[in-house]
């Protein structure tokens, strides 16, 4: 059983090396076929199967699309986009904006004075 995706790629490389090497030997020549066998079985397969964890740690960590979208999306921007598309009505939009602005105030990230300059009335 394959425990790491990189090890699975290593097994796939080891399986595909034989047909590609044989086809290369038949249609191109023995020297390129020997290169395919050496690189496939003696270089890539051991590196990808034996060192799967180490090779996998070198690759960038990619989360699922939903997780990455939730982490980077601004809730207020998403609400504005939904309002612009007509998915949210006026009253619902106002209620949600108030809730989001209140949550930002609780976090201490913004204050009322930071969001809008005060207008003095005479």
CA dist 50 and 44 (Å) reads: 10
Per-position DSSP letters for 1-36, written without gaps between them: ---SHHHHHHHHHHHHHHHHHHHHHHHT-HHHHHHH
Please report how many Cα atoms fall inside a 13 Å half-sphere around the Cα of residue 101, on the Cβ side.
Answer: 12
Reported pTM: 0.45
Confidence of residue 108 (pLDDT cuts 50, 70, 90): low
CA dist 49 and 17 (Å) reads: 14
Chain-centre distance of CA 95, in angstroms? 33
32: CB partners within 8 A, 6+ apart: 24
Each residue of 72-105: pLDDT tens digit?
568 888 888 888 888 888 888 898 888 888 766 6
Domain boundaries along the sequence of the chain: 5-58, 66-115
């Amino acid at each position: 059983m394959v425990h790491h995706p990189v090890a699975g790629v290593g097994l796939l490389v080891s399986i595909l090396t034989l047909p590609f090497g044989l086809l290369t030997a038949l249609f191109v020549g023995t020297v390129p076929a020997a290169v395919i066998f050496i690189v496939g079985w003696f270089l890539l397969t051991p590196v990808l199967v034996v060192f799967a964890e180490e090779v996998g740690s070198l690759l960038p960590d990619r989360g699922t699309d939903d997780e990455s979208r939730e982490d980077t999306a601004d809730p207020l921007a998403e609400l504005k986009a939904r309002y612009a598309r007509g998915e949210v009505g006026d009253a619902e939009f106002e209620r949600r904006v108030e809730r989001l602005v209140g949550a930002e105030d609780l976090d201490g990230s913004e204050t009322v004075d930071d969001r809008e300059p005060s207008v003095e009335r005479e």
